[in-house]
Structure 1
Amino acid sequence: MPFLQTVILFMINRINGQRTASSVFHLLKGKKSSQTIQDAKLYQLDQWFQTVPFLQRSMFDQLIEELTGRRLIEPSGDQFVRVTSEGKELADQFTETVQSFTFLNGWKLQDCANAFWKRLSLTVQVASHLIYQDASYLPVTKDESVQRWLKAFLSNSRLSRENLAEQLHEELFLLLKEAPPENPLLLVLRLTGKKRTGKTIEQAGELTGLESTEYWFRFLHLLHWLIEQVMVRKADCPLLFAMVSDIYEPVTLTQSTKKTKDMLEKGWTIEDIMSNRRLKRSTIEDHIVELALNVPDFSIRPFVSEETENQVLQARAAFPGTRMKTIKEQLPAVSYFQIRLVLAKFNE
């Protein structure tokens, strides 16, 4: 079974018959809708968020069809999906492997990782060609924003072409020699220089003895770890820090939610924000739920009383693993927004 298919089975096991298979697809693709963001947090699947941006719907549907054919998953009413007893057994076996991906954090790092990898791979390529005074090469990325960034980076650097390559090598070696969670070769194989072409995902997987999707996830795991190491040891790796510092966000929020957060902090009410931004109440409520999910010190008290909060938590405890609709039926006077907010705050 492809590693990606096992990840999908693991995720379906987590959603426990409360979401459709499409919700898993949107999580892996990184759809930044309020529902997908909330699913990622509530079902503790945020580490997988946006980790397979290249996933095509046809490929995903085929993997789901194969899981169904092998009787590892089955429909669960209302187009939801759940694992069978055989599927749960296999998903549980995979749990130990998942726990080894300690540093994989798609929700927090994947946007940063995408940009960092483009910057790093282009810088390595350019530094290599500068040593040979060779300008006749095709950039490894066509992303113009990355090319502009590199031009500014090189113009601000006081290093000679030889020292640039040497220091970049030293910084990477310093970090990658100290107990990385994956084989450093997973990253090194992908880099392009004057006398070598970086390997594709498939080629690198074959060279390292890994199925291509397992290689991809382990490559990401290493890349996410490297980013966190750079942030912790920025004094030891100033070049790498320069590649990360402006794109690393310790708290990840959508841009629209950031605007709502700023307005709430200035004392604006939901109604004020709705009027000013010309957005529906449900949209602003989605933003507030996203804040409760992602900002540790965000207080939900302006929207939910302590009494209501306790009622929701008690109902959740009495009916674990049930859908929000069940809690609403037990607490008709409490709005869905308040239920979502409490569950988000306590990551239920």
Structure 2
Amino acid sequence: MNYFYALILYCIYQFKGERSIKAVQYLLTGKKSTQTLQDAVWYSLQHLYSVYPEMDADAFIDTVKKLEKTGSIVISDKTVTLTDSGKKVLSELMSGYPIPDHLNGWQFHKIEQLFWQRLTLLIQILTNWAYSETKFIPVVRDYPIQNWVKRWLGEKRQIYNKKQLSLRLYHELFTIFEICEQNRENPDYIVARFTGYQKPGYTSTQIAKQAAVDETYYLLAFRSCLHFMIKTIWHERGEFPILSSLLADRKSPWTLTSSSWETYKFLKYGKNVEEIAKFRKLKKSTIEDHIVEIALLDPAFSIKTYVKPETQKRITEAVNLLHTRKLKTIKDYLTDIDYFSIRLVLSKMNDKKDV
């Protein structure tokens, strides 16, 4: 099984022949652009946004060439299309190994690594402490992470001794892993990577080989379990005081770019697009891009101020009638409605389909 094929084919399937092969690469590696963010939401691919940041560009190109050579996809100047043969290959690959249930790159890609590095370093420290070992090579070389964990331990040591802290973390991990199993996630994929006292964690290649699964699939399954853990801990802080404290400095799982955040501040003060553009000395279209990004990332953000309900209804009906997310096609059909309104409505629509 080559799950990398399935991942690429699935994205192409969702794009419905309306995006380029580069759009697939940008989506999976998490390119931070308005276009890629739009693609993720408009084509119901939020769960796969930035789920493969370690993707090798050359491997991606080689795989695409193989898929094109075997007739699974057809590439034109600006778009890539899935053929009937490609749909069959995708269906076969997905039937045995569907995309993991709780994968949510859109919501957690910015905090998954932070949480994982803090957790895995903490486990290494506590397991070494259990054997009275204080000298070891840290599994995480990132100094800000090391310093954060050091400060965290200093704070917790005012409340718990070493043994109490280790036991509390153990019990929380045991509980969360039980919940993972109950929700069809495999915590073994997480545990196998932990580094402990005189015991290095396994690599993704080693774990995939031991589990007899494709490495790409393992990486997705690992992230799915990690995302589920973060989500559960986030919403059940009282049940997981130690684990949730590893994310205490993160107030929200979604984050805007700095420029869009500045625009958002003005919007909260009741300023309109023109006023913000004038004050920030930016083009009106740039402020509109920021508002689209806010609509994409903040589920609580209402677009009623910018698009009347009746206009929203017309755009939604047009999208469903035309079966497309291509802006120009929709604009040609709704000549009296501007691109900004169309983009905002698309940003709040979701039509995820099963293969």
The answer to whether the superposition gives a TM-score over 0.5 is yes
Secondary structure of the 1:256 match is helix
Match runs of 1:1-348 below 5 Å: 1-75=1-75, 77-94=76-93, 101-157=100-156, 158-178=159-179, 179-247=182-250, 249-321=252-324, 323-347=326-350
Secondary structure of the 1:244 match is coil
Report the count of equivalent residues.
Answer: 347
Secondary structure of the 1:217 match is helix
Secondary structure of the 1:111 match is coil
Report if the CA contact (8 A) 1:180-1:222 is conserved. no
- RMSD over aligned Cα atoms: 2.0
Secondary structure of the 2:109 match is helix
Secondary structure of the 1:329 match is helix
How far is the alpha carbon of 1:257 from its aligned partner? 2.3
Q: Give the Cα separation in 2 of the matches to 1:180 and 1:302.
A: 39
How far is the alpha carbon of 1:263 from its aligned partner? 0.9
Q: Give the Cα separation in 1 of the matches to 2:322 and 2:220.
A: 35
Secondary structure of the 1:192 match is coil
TM norm structure 1:
0.93
Q: Give the Cα separation in 2 of the matches to 1:308 and 1:162.
A: 62
Deviation digits for residues 180-223 of structure 1 (CA, Å, limit 9, x no counterpart) = 42222111110001120001110111122222111111111111
Corresponding letter in the other structure for 1:313:
T
Q: Give the Cα separation in 2 of the matches to 1:219 and 1:83.
A: 28
Secondary structure of the 1:74 match is strand
Greater shift in the superposed pair: 279-288 or 297-306: 297-306
Structure-2 change in CA distance of 1:253 and 1:181 (3 Å):
farther
How far is the alpha carbon of 1:25 from its aligned partner? 0.6
Q: Give the Cα separation in 1 of the matches to 2:123 and 2:251.
A: 20
How far is the alpha carbon of 1:291 from its aligned partner? 2.4
Report if the CA contact (8 A) 2:42-2:349 is conserved. no
Corresponding letter in the other structure for 1:59:
A
Corresponding letter in the other structure for 2:45:
L
Deviation digits for residues 32-59 of structure 1 (CA, Å, limit 9, x no counterpart) = 1111001001111010111111112211
Greater shift in the superposed pair: 167-176 or 282-291: 282-291
How far is the alpha carbon of 1:253 from its aligned partner? 3.2
Secondary structure of the 1:308 match is helix
Secondary structure of the 2:81 match is strand
How far is the alpha carbon of 1:120 from its aligned partner? 0.4
Q: Give the Cα separation in 2 of the matches to 1:153 and 1:245.
A: 11
Structure-2 change in CA distance of 1:66 and 1:291 (3 Å):
same
Q: Give the Cα separation in 2 of the matches to 1:23 and 1:147.
A: 36
Q: Give the Cα separation in 1 of the matches to 2:325 and 2:229.
A: 38
Corresponding letter in the other structure for 1:172:
L
Q: Give the Cα separation in 1 of the matches to 2:98 and 2:5.
A: 17
Report if the CA contact (8 A) 1:73-1:81 is conserved. yes
Q: Give the Cα separation in 1 of the matches to 2:307 and 2:187.
A: 48
Report if the CA contact (8 A) 1:13-1:83 is conserved. yes
Corresponding letter in the other structure for 2:224:
H
How far is the alpha carbon of 1:161 from its aligned partner? 1.7
How far is the alpha carbon of 1:97 from its aligned partner? 6.2
Greater shift in the superposed pair: 333-342 or 196-205: 333-342
How far is the alpha carbon of 1:337 from its aligned partner? 1.4
Q: Give the Cα separation in 1 of the matches to 2:336 and 2:322.
A: 18
How far is the alpha carbon of 1:19 from its aligned partner? 0.5
How far is the alpha carbon of 1:251 from its aligned partner? 4.2
Report if the CA contact (8 A) 1:9-1:91 is conserved. yes
How far is the alpha carbon of 1:295 from its aligned partner? 2.9
How far is the alpha carbon of 1:95 from its aligned partner? 5.2
Report if the CA contact (8 A) 1:181-1:225 is conserved. no
Secondary structure of the 2:230 match is helix
Deviation digits for residues 57-83 of structure 1 (CA, Å, limit 9, x no counterpart) = 2111111111111111102x4421010
Secondary structure of the 1:52 match is coil
Report if the CA contact (8 A) 2:41-2:349 is conserved. no
Secondary structure of the 2:74 match is strand
TM norm structure 2:
0.91
Secondary structure of the 1:82 match is strand
Report if the CA contact (8 A) 1:6-1:94 is conserved. yes
